[in-house]
Amino acid sequence: MQSSTTLNPHEREVVAYHEAGHALTRELLATTERAHKISIVPRGQALGYVMNLPDEDSYLKTREELIDQLTVLLGGRVAEQIVFGAVTTGAANDLQRVAEITNAMVHVYGMGTSEAVSRTSVDSAQLSDLTRRIRDEEQQALAFEAHRNAMDLITSHRAKLEEFARELLDKEVLGRSDIDRIMEGVKQIDRRPSRGLRVVANDPNPPAAS
């Protein structure tokens, strides 16, 4: 439902670049679903959103695919950093989702960097203080990895970020045909290994980046 929220010109520009960051990283990474609609028209509590529909059902995810999901979630915040030199409260929901995914990767799926710690999943009350600290650090490391990926992608495709943002400021809503036109000729990046995959059960209805 469309919101009655009215943004001032600067806020509208920040939202446009935030959603452009989400859209650009999503389009560049081959493991993520394509965006079908991008909007900077406030809807409910969201000031803007990228709507995506999965191309096919997927119930297993590799570590690389989960990192790509984190990269997309952080794409909006990173775009704000690059363009405005500061971040806003608009990324709060994205950061909450990042915390949920990194927690599951370390505590449930055993996808941390420390094999001795990540091999087992037990009740947190049974973990030692050292183990909890190591797992917290591993969650941070996963988030930092995704942040670096988002920074590299957006910095190296800055012109496309600007193009997305300009068109959003002009049209407010972009459809799939607009996205295809903007991304024409740009190659996707696929970091999935060819074998030896570590896979996990996937939520069939992941929330969209906002």
Torsion region of 28: left, alpha or beta (phi above 0 gives left; psi -120 to 50 gives alpha): alpha
Structure token pair of residue 76:
């909006």
Report in angstroms the alpha-carbon separations of 133 from 9, 43, 116. 43, 39, 14
- 163 is a catalytic site residue: no
User: Which position among 11, 13, 19, 145 bears the catalytic label?
Assistant: 19
Token pair listed for 67: 């990192």
Residues listed for the chain: 210
| R_g (Cα) of the chain, nearest Å | 18
Catalytic positions = 19
